[in-house]
Chain A
Amino acid sequence: MTDWWPVFLKEMLHFKRKLLRLGYIFSAMMAPIIYLVTFGLGLGKTVTLTEGTDYLTFLLPGLVAMSSMNNSYTWVASALNLSRIYFKTFQILIQSPIKPFSIMIGEVLAGMVKGIFASLLIILVGIFVPSDFSINLIFLLTLILNCFMFASLGLITGMITKSHEDTATYSNFFIMPMAFFSGTFFSIERIPYIFKPIIYIMPLTHTNILIRKSTLDLDGTISLLVIIFYCAIFFCLGARLIANYRE
């Protein structure tokens, strides 16, 4: 049952080394802070939301969702891709007498830690800007599920890409549009009706809906179920890719 621990520990040892480099924390915070300043403190003053909340209070949970997505996804996708194709360190895991499921858990948990860490930095900034931003149980649950979901998706990308450049391509096609069009910076109510089916397919849309809820209403429950569905699909697919991995 604890076979995932050495996989997780390995990633955490790498993470510890990265954290000690000054540039790492800055790079993790840079994009969300730019968005916060540009959209929140700058353009945000001119934005009126139909929900009646101020823009910064709307934006901060979205930035947490986006940042946790980016960091969970990128960490696992890049680390796995590099270890599989360039450093060949993935062979060590594959040639160990542990189940593919354990490799999956270890890698996903490591991705989650990185996503949560990056989110904490945003939350920390959020505390110091003038807004009604607050954290409740739904917020925390959504954050954890979002990290799990995108770490699992990152693992799938890391397993199927044939080069490190491919990882960036997948990111540009799937992650970048999600960051901008799934309710991070503006309400999805403003999106033309014709595009809404696509928007509701995006997993981050449901994270953005759920993370802003104070109570679990019908919309929130549907989004929660969709997120759980994606988590299950991505996790099973990732575990299957590891189980069938051959060079």
Chain B
Amino acid sequence: MITVEKISKFYGNLKALDAVSFQIGEGEIFGLLGPNGAGKTTTVKILTTLTNPDEGRCLIDGMDVVLNSHQIKSIIAVVPQENNLERELTVYENLLIYGMLHKVKDLRRKISDILNSLDISHKKNSLVNSLSGGLQRRLLLARALLSNPKVLFLDEPSIGLDAHIRRQLWQIIRSIKSEGKTVFLTTHYIEEAEALCDRVGILSHGKLIALGTPEELKREVGEFVVEYLDKEGRSTSSICQKKEEAYEIAKSKNDRVTIRKTNLEDVFVKLTGERILEKDKG
């Protein structure tokens, strides 16, 4: 469904993307994981026709995003990182305008259906400004789904949401996948990527440094992590391929040793020596 071939993007002297390539199959949830400034949003902007790559090309459903941008726009929808709802219009007016722009047939019924399915019909006539952050995020998703897109782009969909609302959002994203839609999401929440994504790409400083299913990536670096305090009292960890190996390391350490399964944050740390994010509280 999506093919990205060696795309690069420069902002002045800064190389925001450096020859990034990957493919996403139809009906797949693909997550692009990385810290702030890694190039995730730039990738989304290129794929959603907001900006052009300086090198390389991207195809969606066989169409080039630069050469066939008009056709691409009719099969994709975007939930951007920044809330771009019309804040001084009502929920209904936001959906009405969007639906008209995307030439949605039987629009009034579809708005009603989507408001019901996302449980925001009671806010239909409320101004967007008066909605909570969680409801605004849900409205962004409702707006994107209104045009029944083949590919849905979610740029940091749960940023700023509390854990409860975030999990509700995940349920909705899973139900979107069950309808056969392709979902491309960017996130710096490890838990989100592991909970939702069939496959993950890890971006660091504009380069794609790993690509695969979460399980594959974790297996590659080692499935177990031993966390302990070193002689200076600093928190340290070692990644091991086998459980026995982890036990051996644990035995050699003093107290406060934890053995746990590897997560994508460990993969990122192993590959880059950096962290994606301070420990996610969600």
Which residue of B50, B51, B74, B89 is within 8 Å of A10 (Cβ)? B89
Q: Name the residue on B nearest A17 (C-beta).
A: B88
How many A-B contacts at CB < 8 Å in the complex? 65
CB of B98 closer than 8 Å to a CB of A? yes
| Most B C-beta atoms less than 10 A away, residue of A3, A97, A98, A99 | A97
Q: Name the residue on A nearest B73 (C-beta).
A: A97
Which residue of B78, B97, B102 is within 8 Å of A97 (Cβ)? B102
| Most A C-beta atoms less than 10 A away, residue of B71, B86, B87 | B86
Bound form: Cα–Cα A14–B45 in Å? 27
Task: Give the interface SS of chain B, mostly helix, strand, loop or mixed.
Answer: loop
Q: Which of B75-96 contact A (CB under 8 A)?
A: 76, 78, 80, 82, 84-89, 93
Interface size class of A (residues with CB under 8 A): 20 to 34
| Complex interface bits, A75-112 against B, C-beta within 8 A gives 1, otherwise 0 | 00000000000011101111111110000000000000
CB of A246 closer than 8 Å to a CB of B? yes
CB of B100 closer than 8 Å to a CB of A? yes
| Most B C-beta atoms less than 10 A away, residue of A5, A91, A96, A99 | A96
Specify which chain B residues have a CB less than 8 angstroms from the CB of A14 in the assembled complex. Answer: 86, 88-89
Q: How many residues of B contact A (CB 8 A)?
A: 27
| Most B C-beta atoms less than 10 A away, residue of A89, A92, A246 | A92
Q: Which of A121-161 contact B (CB under 8 A)?
A: none
Q: Name the residue on B nearest A87 (C-beta).
A: B84
CB of A247 closer than 8 Å to a CB of B? yes
CB of A9 closer than 8 Å to a CB of B? yes
- Is the Cβ of A6 less than 8 Å from the Cβ of B73? no
CB of A1 closer than 8 Å to a CB of B? no
User: When A14-B88, A88-B82, A89-B84 are in contact, do A9 and B50 touch as well, CB less than 8 Å?
Assistant: no
- Is the Cβ of B45 less than 8 Å from the Cβ of A247? yes
User: When A6-B100, A98-B101 are in contact, do A246 and B84 touch as well, CB less than 8 Å?
Assistant: no
Bound form: Cα–Cα A9–B86 in Å? 13
User: When A10-B97, A247-B45 are in contact, do A96 and B102 touch as well, CB less than 8 Å?
Assistant: yes
Taking the closest CB of chain A, its distance from the CB of B3, in whole angstroms, is 20
CB of B49 closer than 8 Å to a CB of A? yes
Specify which chain A residues have a CB less than 8 angstroms from the CB of B85 in the assembled complex. Answer: 89
CB of B48 closer than 8 Å to a CB of A? yes
Q: Which 7 A-B pairs have the closest CB atoms?
A: A6-B100, A96-B101, A88-B84, A97-B74, A97-B73, A10-B97, A246-B51
Q: List 27 A-B contacts (CB under 8 A).
A: A3-B101, A6-B101, A9-B97, A10-B89, A13-B86, A13-B89, A13-B97, A14-B86, A14-B88, A14-B89, A17-B88, A17-B89, A87-B86, A89-B85, A92-B101, A94-B49, A95-B49, A95-B73, A95-B76, A96-B73, A96-B98, A96-B101, A97-B101, A97-B102, A98-B101, A246-B50, A247-B45
